[in-house]
Amino acid sequence: MLQFKKTLLGGIAPVLLSIALASPVIASDAHHAHGKDHNFGHFTKDNLLLTPKDYREWIFVGAPVTPKDMNDGKPAFPEFHNVYIDPTSWNHWKKTGEFRDGTVIVKELTSVGSKEAASGNGYFPGEFNGIAAMVKDSKRFSDKPGNWAFFGFESYDAKQGIIQADDACAACHKANAAQDMVFTQYYPVLRAAQPSKK
């Protein structure tokens, strides 16, 4: 939303209001069109990803869990991985079955809490531990494997992420991910939405 100085607001606001009231379809269409091309990744001048906001309102694609007691007490991520993809990239995925330039995928780490519930024994989410993210951008990250950059965040309150070395996250994703550096084999929501290729 544009912010006007008080001296301008008094004269311009009534005009803008009258246009909006007279043309609700045009205003709605413009907003809708903008939404189709909306990018959710925002960066510093050094191409570091700013901490994504409101990602829990994005598309939830899955929650794999790698608990300590199934990994000799030493899993790389001893938590649930709540994974979200930004809405624009989700819409592109449904149409093409590909991850577009600009895709942002956030992994929210949640500890394993109780192993007992009214429904039976299992692994149940505990507390939030932090977030990580991966971003596909062929211009910003042309030197990264698959043009994907991986970011870790010191806390939810951190202003920006810390880019991860290629031999950390990227190497594992390149070696094991089913499609374009993404572990689609663990996300049935993505697979179900992917258009069939004839």
Q: What is the mean pLDDT of residues 148-176?
A: 96
For the segment 114-146, what is each residue's pLDDT rounded down to a tens digit? 999 999 999 999 999 999 999 999 999 999 999
> Residue 182 in contact with residue 175, Cβ under 8 Å?
no
User: Per-residue confidence at 197, pLDDT binned at 50, 70, 90?
Assistant: low
Q: What is the mean pLDDT of residues 171-176?
A: 96
pLDDT of res. 3? 42
Position 18 pLDDT exceeds 80: no
pTM of the model: 0.80
pLDDT of res. 77? 86
pLDDT of res. 37? 57
Buried b (16+ CB within 10 A) or exposed e, 157-190: eeebbebeeeeebbeebeeebeeebbbbebbeeb
Buried b (16+ CB within 10 A) or exposed e, 113-134: eeeeeeeeeebeeeeeebbbbb
